[in-house]
Amino acid sequence: MLTAHMEPNLEVVDVSSHESFNAWGHGYPHKSVRWHFHPEYEIHLVTAATGTFFVGDFIGTFAPGNLVMIGPNLPHNWVSDLMEGELVYQRCLVMQFPGALASNAIKIFPELRYVGKLLKEARGGLLFSSETGLAAQSLMLELTEARGIRRVQLFLTLIELLALDTSRKRLASSEYASDMGDIASSKINVALKYINKNFATDLREPDVVAITGQSISAFSRAFHKHVGMTFVSYINHLRIKRSCELLTSGRISITDICFKVGFNNVSNFNRQFLLQKGMSPSKFRDIDEMKISKCS
């Protein structure tokens, strides 16, 4: 497998407007599973399956408990050993956060200065002990559901756990240099940045194709290969994700949210929301309010 020698894709990490980092899990296969990079730090814990993982110029095998921290713009990928057609419901837990979050926290809280060493080492990729991986699993699992101050507490506890693991090992060689500047500016990645900035407008595929200089057919093929879905599906995905944030962040009416995220009629918004979330927007809001009341 020559994954580490292919041009990596830029992954656009979309952190919610009312959160400072992402915490989530996914199965396998999944659209994010490809040779890729992003400016954010990533903590990646395998919870199921075995296979091969790639970090910079490092190639190794993984199993449940494999815990790795990736620095900014360091290409990486985990490829599972599965039979054709076999699926894994949840293969890993992932946390992604911008470097500014950590550096600003260190400036505000001098007690966190020791974390700077961890962040610097992570630029070459870090593999942690199996004991640390085991301890991290419960923290990362809770992080995917946590809200408010508890979420920040878990984040700091996880970072402390990693910083205190003196047996952590660098993955990419000291000679490995990752300069993703040219790749990040490639046509498809320029298009992705534009889409993520303008998805709430009346954005159409020909508008985006125009900034890449490609034909519509070439763009569509490249886009589907890169993102794992069609242009329209990706736009709807971003709009529904943003609508979920708005549904949980205040009392904006569902009709106002519909138009605010870029849909031009409520029936289509409701239909797309049901397809992606398995429930109506009003039901989603009711469930979220029930969670809040239980925590208050």
This model's pTM is above 0.85: no
Q: How far apart are the first and last CA of the chain?
A: 51
pLDDT at 111: 92
Q: pLDDT tens digits, the chain, 296 residues: what are they? A: 444 456 777 777 877 767 899 999 988 877 667 888 888 999 999 999 899 999 999 999 999 999 999 999 899 999 888 777 778 888 999 999 999 998 899 999 999 999 999 999 999 999 999 999 999 999 999 999 998 899 999 999 999 999 999 999 999 998 886 665 555 557 777 888 889 889 999 999 999 999 888 889 988 888 887 777 899 999 999 999 889 888 887 778 999 999 999 999 999 999 999 998 899 999 998 887 655 444 43
Give all domains of the chain, ordered by start, each with its CATH number. Answer: 3-170 (2.60.120.10), 186-291 (1.10.10.60)
φ and ψ of 77, to 5 deg: -170, 145
Q: Which residue has the tokens 């039979």?
A: 83
CA nearest neighbour of 45 among 113, 144, 116: 144
CA nearest neighbour of 266 among 286, 281, 250: 281
Check if the beta carbon of residue 93 is closer than 8 Å to that of residue 139.
Answer: no
Strands (DSSP E) contained in the chain are 9-10, 22-28, 36-37, 41-46, 51-55, 58-62, 67-70, 76-80, 88-97, 126-127, 169-170
pLDDT at 43: 98
CA nearest neighbour of 249 among 1, 16, 50: 16
What residues contact residue 26 under an 8 Å CB cut-off, 6+ apart?
32, 33, 90, 91, 92, 94
DSSP 8-state assignment for residue 63: -
Distance CA 61, CA 171 (A): 12
Instruction: Count CB-CB contacts under 10 A for residue 251.
Output: 6
Q: Which residue has the tokens 């296979």?
A: 51
